[in-house]
Every structure is written in C-alpha cells, then in structure tokens.
Amino acid sequence: MSLVYLFSALLIIMILLLFTLTNHKLQQHAGQFVLIAPIISSIYFLWQIPRVMQGHFVTVKIPWLTLLDINIDFRVDGLSLFFSLLISLIGLAVFYYATQYLSKEHDNLPRFYIYLLLFMFSMIGVVTSNNTILMYVFWELTSVSSFLLIAYWYNKGESQFGAIQSFMITVFGGLALLAGFIMIYIVTGTNSISEIIGQSDKLAQSNLFIPIIIMMLLGAFTKSAQFPFHIWLPKAMAAPTPVSAYLHSATMVKAGIFLLFRFTPVLGLSDFYIYCVTFVGLITMIFGAINATRQFDLKGILAYSTISQLGMIVSMVGLGGGFAQHPSGEASKVYGLILFAALFHLMNHALYKGALFMGVGIIDHETGTRDIRRLSGLRKVFPITLIVMLLSALSMAGIPFLNGFLSKEMFFESLVSTNELPQFNITLTIIITVIGVVASIFTLIYAVYMIKEVFWGDSQQADLPLKSPHEPFLFTLPSAIMMILLPMIFFIPNLFGESIILPALRSITIGENVDELAPHISQWHGFNLPLTLSAIVIIVGFIAALKIDWKKYANHIKVKSITEIYLGSYKHFEHYSGYSIRGLMNNRLNHYITLTLLIFIMIVTYGIIEAGFPKVHQIHVSEFGPLEVITLIVVFVLGIALTFIRQRLTMVILNGIIGYCVTIFFILMKAPDLALTQLVVETITTILFIVSFSRLPNVPRTKVHKKREAVKIVVSLMMAIIVVTLVFIAQQSDSMPTISTFYHDAYKLTGGKNIVNAILGDFRALDTLFEGLVLIIAGLGIYTLLNFKDRRGQDERE
C-alpha cells in the first residue's frame, strides 16, 4: 500500500497549494514548498530499485467496478520503475529550476505549481497503472495538465494556439487509445494489463487485432509527436521553459513510447506493427533533424530535435518488437540489444535534452531573446551555461566520452544487425541504415550550429533586449548536475544498465533468458561498422556545421508547413460545418422535432428489421370495456382536430384534455400513482401554457402550408406505428426476462413498501439525483432570464 501513500501525499500537497492562492506571502514560497513532492517521489522509487532488481514488484489492487473489471490497480515493475525514476528525478531538477525561472512578482506561482504537480501525478499514474481504463484516465489527465501548462501565459496568442493544438491532437489520440482498450476488453474479457499480456496469443488470433494495433499506435504517435502528428510539439514551446524541459523532452512525450514498450509482448506479434513503428520512427527522425537546421528560435531547434530523437527511439522499439514472435534463438539476441539500446538512449535523451532546455531558458531569461540571429559571443557572459549546453549538445550528437555516444553506437549496431531479423532483408537493412546515418549527420549539424551561433562570434554583434545579462549560480545548478551525469554514465554505464535498464528490459521481454540477451555496455568494441558510421557522422557533420551558413539555408529553403495545411483544412472544415449547422439549426422548433423523430424512427426500424417483427398471435391485448373505447375515441378525435386548429389557446386546452384522458387510462389500468402524477403534471403544464400565451403578443398565424402539414402528419403516423410496435415487442413471450420480478423484492432490498418510491429513491437514486440537479439548473436559468431585463434597465439608467 506504500504506492497509495505516495499518491495520497502528492494529492495532499496539491490541495495545500490551493490555500496559497489567496495569500500573497505564501505564494512567494510555493516553489520551495512544492519541492517536497518530487523529493518524496524520488526517494520512494530509488528505495524500490534493490527490490525490483531481485524480481519483486510492488502491486496494489483496490476493487472498484468489478463487473467491468475496472479497478484501482497499480504495479511497479522494472519498466514502470525506470519511467518513474525519470519522472521523479527530472521533476526534482525542473521544480527547483522553476523557482529560479519564474517571477515572484508577475507570475501566479501556486497556479503554475499546481498544474506542474498535477502533471507529475498523472505521469506516475500512467506508468504504474496495471488497468487499461485507469491508465486511460491518467493518460487524459496528462493532456489536460499539459494544456494548462502550455496556456499558463494565457494572455499570449501563441500560448493559446499551442495549448489548443496540443490538446486537440493528444486527446484525439487518447480517444483512439480508449477504443483500442475497449476492443482488447472485448477479446480478452479483462482490463488488467498483466492478464492481457498473458493472453497475447488470443489477441493475435482475433479479427480485431489489426484495428487494436492501429488505435493504440494513434494514441502513442500523437502523444510522442511522431510524424505527421508532431506539429503540436513546436507550438507547445510557447510554454514556460521549465514546462518544455519537463513535459516536452523528458516525460509527457515519452508516454507514447512507454505505451509501446508496455504492450510490445502483445503488439509485436504482428509484422504490421513492426514495420509501421519502425518506419514512422525513422521518417520522424530524419524529418525532425532536417527541420531543426531551419529554425532560428533556440527552443524551436530543441523542439524539432526532440521530435527527431523520439523518432529514433520509436524506430528501435519497432525493430525490437519482433521479440514477441522469437523469444529464443539468435534473433532474440538482436531484439534484446535493440530494446536495451532504446531504453538506454531514452534515459540519455532525458538528461541531455533537459539540460539543453534549461540552458536555453537561462539565456532567454537573462538576455530577453532566443533568436540565434540576435545572439552572439555569449561564452564570456555565460561560462557555466556554455559548458552545460556544449557537453549536452555533443552528447546528443554522439561524440565520444559522453553517454550519447554509447547509445548512438548501439543504435547503429541495431540498424546494421536488422539483416539477422526475419522481418528484414539486406535491402531494408541498407535503407534504414542510410536513413539513420543521414538523420544523425543532421543531428550533429544543428547541435554544433546552435552552440557556435550562440556562444562564439563577436559579442558586439549581439542584439540583446536586456543589455546587462548575468549568470546566477543557483539558476545553473540543476542543469550543471544533469551535465555532470553525461560523462559519468559514459565511464560507468553498467551501473545504470544493471540496476535500472536491465529490470526494465525484463518487463518487456518476458522470459527466462532475458539476462543473457542484455548486452554489456562497453566504451570500445574495436573497429567495426557501427564505429565507421559514427566516424562518418562526426566528420561530415562537423564539416557541414562549420563550413555551411545555415542561416542562409533557413532563409532560402521554404517547406510547406504541416501546421499551415492543418490550419487551411481547419478553416475549410469550419466553413463547411458552419454552413451545415446553419442549414440544420434554422430556429424552427417543428423542424428540430421532425428531424429528431425521423432519426429515432430509422434507428428503431433498423432494430426491428434485425430482431424480427413480432408475431401477431403472440400479441396480448388487455381487456377493455365501453369506457376505454369512449376515451380512446375522444383522444382520436381531439388528435385529428389539433392538426386543423390554428388558435394557440384552443390547442393548449385540447392538448390538456388529451392528457386528462391518459389519466383516465391509468386509472382504468389500476395505476393510481401514475394517474396522480399525470393529473398534476398535466394541470400545471396547461396552466403555465395558458398564462404564457396570454402574455405573448397576438401574432396572426400564417395559412396552412399543405406540404409541411403533410410531412408532420406522416411523421406522426410513423411515430405512432413505431410506438405501438415497441409495445407489441415488449409483450412477446420469448423476449428477455422481465425486470419486474426483481422490483417485487423492493421491501426486502430497500425496506420501502411502495415499489415506485423504492425505484426512485434506491434503485435509481443517482438518476433521480441528477434529475433534481437538472431542475435546479433550469430554475437558475429561468431566474436569470426573468431578471436580465430589469438589470439591463438599471445599468442603462445608471
């Protein structure tokens, strides 16, 4: 239950932050207070490392909606621990960094930290959930909290646009993911992720397997900014830099990758999944790398860099997905290498990209700009930031003696080894290797180009909005600590590999020989093809970065933005939808009722055709006498008369008489409760209609429009036939068992002697509660409308 205590602690801290919203003195210390949350989380998950290394997992299961298998079910295994450590430790650095970045005078600090803590809470929930529906709830919470964080500076148009775009795309993916989870439940009968993985063969044999893969890939690709859903990530850079450093480099964008890792034992059984994930990742990698060289905004460069690096990791997840088909043999060693490399690079990317974002935030905060055309020669002003960003950029580029070199080498080794996999031949191996090498060259180009333009050159050419920048030590502290880890991991990689990455690999590649598949990370493998590819990347990349003027390249080469296509499509869709809605919503109540009834008639007719029409000999007709016949004739005559009468008050009165006739029917059928209800409702509504119409202006009615009246009569007759048919179907002897037998036990179940009261107060308690809320809301609306005119008159007089 310790995991429940962790979630409870995070919620308590979030609630306490709410009390600081109204206290100005407490607001200034909100950042220091909220640091408790990532500290607690980091300590908890660090404490779990020895236990998980030994194969013991933390599990919590609290029954909830057991009939639908929706439970509060958490599980901390190697994979969830790996991601939880990233979320907590990177979160600790970012939370502290935010205390130095945000202004105590101009920023609403409690609101920011509530959003940030909500996101951290949601991400931990995503990676520890062992129930698909619970995971979906946390999944959407990350989208909501991300929306709030991107729109934190809501007075800026770019923040509004970035928040809306990211929210629309990620929520669309979330809905697709929910559809995939529902289909999985249909096939397996469970929402438990561990049980779903245990039924992987059953899923693979299902006709819904490919639709499940497509839905889950939509969820993963939209969240992890894969092509063509990547467009939200650059626009999300309008958020404060701590948000970019946390959400869009280390955590939220990794949620989609976590999803792929978690369900690899299931989804990897399909070659369609392997090819789709691999090539989408490679396309995203090279697309992001090339576009990063065209950016002038430092955060824009890092945004496309993140897209590219995420594509690289996703491609490795796709290449290693075939382990589900071949858990043993020579191919399994290659799969193990690839998946291990993906996890290793994911960890490395979170470190150097988080440090890079923090460095950019320091430059932006102190100089007032992120435009590389206005930045130059800052190496003397920001010496610590220079070291942090230089080592982080070189690590990202895969330069030796930094952690990024090791995972880049493993990436190249993965690419050249794909020829040994059954899904790939020599031609595909060459294609994906070339794509990976070219994308890596561009990675080195924008990494070196970014550092060169910002820190080298003539400082006199810099055009800084803030003329006296400086470098506070406490501001650089979290990024400096992350930077120190980059060479440290290079020299002692297996300490991290054996304690963090290997347990995560065990959770993905379920089997007895998993430890044999994990490679031993070595700084030197001899002269081989991956080393040759690394040398080519370094030589070509440095020459291109130093000899080519990439500013001119960015100015002269224009590429049609997918965002522009998105906006154009959105405008056309908005115009078409507006035109369609205006045609449908024409302010004519009769038109709305006619359409509603026609749709209902079509749905019921389709159901009757599928289920079969009731047999006439099974139709039961209740006994009736002269009074029933007379009442029925009165209703029939009044109903026909209403189609010809044009006076409003006469129509209201005749309609009330029909209602009273229905009351008589209830009495004759020995249903006094229904009769009393009908009598009261009919009396009140008739009086209200008469009072309302008497106060309305006497507008003369137009002449009868024969076609419209004919349509109304036809629809009414069709509706009458449908209702009578439904009554006949309900009376069939071979229909479903009646629920009335359950309600007969109302006294035993509820203690209520009146069945109707028991149904309303106990069996349908929530329904009755919400009906009451609807009435309250309607009453408030009516009260507001009645008093609106008086208030407006008062305002005008004032």
DSSP letter for each residue of 691-715: HHHHHS--PPPPPP-HHHHHHHHHH
Residue 179 neighbours by CB under 8 Å, 6+ apart: 215
pLDDT surpasses 60 at 64: yes
pLDDT, tens digit, 9 for 90 and up, residues 71-102: 999 999 999 999 999 999 999 999 999 998 88
pLDDT average, residue stretch 563-568: 66
pLDDT surpasses 60 at 261: yes
The torsion defined by the Cα of 644, 648, 654 and 657, in degrees rounded to 10, comes to 160
Cα torsion 560, 563, 566, 571: sign: negative
Residue 72 pairs in a beta bridge with: 62
pLDDT surpasses 60 at 5: yes
In this prediction, residue 733 carries a pLDDT of 54
Minimal CA–CA distance to 91: which of 10, 170, 25? 10
DSSP-derived secondary structure letter, 421: S
Query: Is there a cis peptide before residue 228, judged by omega within 30 degrees of 0?
Result: yes
Residues 744, 746: Cα–Cα separation, whole Å? 5
pLDDT average, residue stretch 444-464: 85
In this prediction, residue 323 carries a pLDDT of 87
pLDDT surpasses 60 at 794: no
Counting residues of the chain whose pLDDT is more than 70, the rounded percentage is 91
Q: How confident is the model at residue 582 (pLDDT cuts 50, 70, 90)?
A: confident
In this prediction, residue 767 carries a pLDDT of 80
DSSP-derived secondary structure letter, 497: I
- Count CB atoms within 10 A of the CB of residue 723: 11
Q: How confident is the model at residue 699 (pLDDT cuts 50, 70, 90)?
A: low
Q: C-alpha distances in angstroms, 539 versus 289, 387, 441, 536?
A: 17, 22, 9, 5
**Burial of 439 from C-beta contacts in 10 A (0-12 / 13-18 / 19+):** buried
- Count CB atoms within 10 A of the CB of residue 282: 26
- Asked which of 364-373, 426-435, 495-504, 695-704 is least confident by mean pLDDT, the reply is 695-704
Residues 123, 132: Cα–Cα separation, whole Å? 14
Extract long-range pairs of 644-652: CB within 8 Å, 24+ residues apart.
646/701, 646/704, 647/701, 648/693, 649/690, 649/693, 649/694, 652/686, 652/689, 652/690, 652/693
Highest mean pLDDT among 55-64, 439-448, 735-744: 439-448
pLDDT surpasses 60 at 557: no
pLDDT average, residue stretch 118-136: 94
In this prediction, residue 616 carries a pLDDT of 56
Contact between 523 and 489 (Cβ < 8 Å)? no
- Asked which of 142-146, 634-638, 741-745 is least confident by mean pLDDT, the reply is 741-745
Minimal CA–CA distance to 396: which of 432, 354, 338, 431? 354
Through-space distance between the first and last CA atoms of the chain, rounded to whole angstroms: 62
pLDDT surpasses 70 at 614: no
- What is the enclosing helix (H) or strand (E) of 783? helix 765-797
Residue 165 neighbours by CB under 8 Å, 6+ apart: 231, 232, 235, 236, 563, 566
Contact between 491 and 110 (Cβ < 8 Å)? no
More confident residue, 718 or 518: 718
Token representation of residue 18: 């709410």
Q: Which amino acid makes up residue 185?
A: Y
pLDDT surpasses 70 at 796: no
Helix (H, G, I), strand (E, B) or coil at 463: coil
pLDDT average, residue stretch 30-45: 91
pLDDT average, residue stretch 351-377: 90
Residues 487, 401: Cα–Cα separation, whole Å? 6
pLDDT average, residue stretch 235-262: 88
Helix (H, G, I), strand (E, B) or coil at 76: strand
Token representation of residue 313: 């990791």
Give how far the C-alpha of residue 326 lies from the chain's centroid of Cα atoms, to the nearest Å.
32
Count helices and strands (H / E) in the chain.
38, 2
pLDDT, tens digit, 9 for 90 and up, residues 26-35: 777 888 889 9
Q: Backbone phi, then psi, for 651, in 5-degree steps? A: -65, -40
In this prediction, residue 334 carries a pLDDT of 87
Mean of pLDDT over the chain: 86
Minimal CA–CA distance to 362: which of 469, 520, 498? 469
Q: Backbone phi, then psi, for 425, in 5-degree steps? A: -110, -175
CA angle, 584 then 590 then 596, to 5°: 65
pLDDT average, residue stretch 20-28: 75
Largest distance between two CA atoms of the chain = 106
Give how far the C-alpha of residue 528 lies from the chain's centroid of Cα atoms, to the nearest Å.
43
Give how far the C-alpha of residue 581 lies from the chain's centroid of Cα atoms, to the nearest Å.
28
- Asked which of 45-59, 293-307, 429-443, 679-693 is least confident by mean pLDDT, the reply is 679-693
Q: How confident is the model at residue 154 (pLDDT cuts 50, 70, 90)?
A: confident
Residues 118, 255: Cα–Cα separation, whole Å? 15
Residues 154, 170: Cα–Cα separation, whole Å? 19
Minimal CA–CA distance to 127: which of 88, 168, 169, 185? 88
Minimal CA–CA distance to 33: which of 18, 15, 19, 13? 13
pLDDT surpasses 50 at 343: yes
More confident residue, 611 or 714: 714
pLDDT, tens digit, 9 for 90 and up, residues 198-236: 999 999 999 999 999 999 999 999 999 898 888 889 888
pLDDT surpasses 60 at 512: no
- In this structure, the strands spanning 58-65 and 70-76 are antiparallel
**Burial of 130 from C-beta contacts in 10 A (0-12 / 13-18 / 19+):** buried
Q: How confident is the model at residue 532 (pLDDT cuts 50, 70, 90)?
A: very high
Contact between 30 and 98 (Cβ < 8 Å)? no
Q: Backbone phi, then psi, for 120, in 5-degree steps? A: -60, -45
pLDDT surpasses 90 at 762: no
Contact between 355 and 299 (Cβ < 8 Å)? no
pLDDT surpasses 90 at 740: no
In this prediction, residue 554 carries a pLDDT of 63
Ranges of H-type helices in 237-297? 241-246, 252-262, 264-267, 271-292
- Asked which of 179-183, 602-606, 649-653 is least confident by mean pLDDT, the reply is 649-653
More confident residue, 118 or 24: 118
pLDDT average, residue stretch 503-520: 78
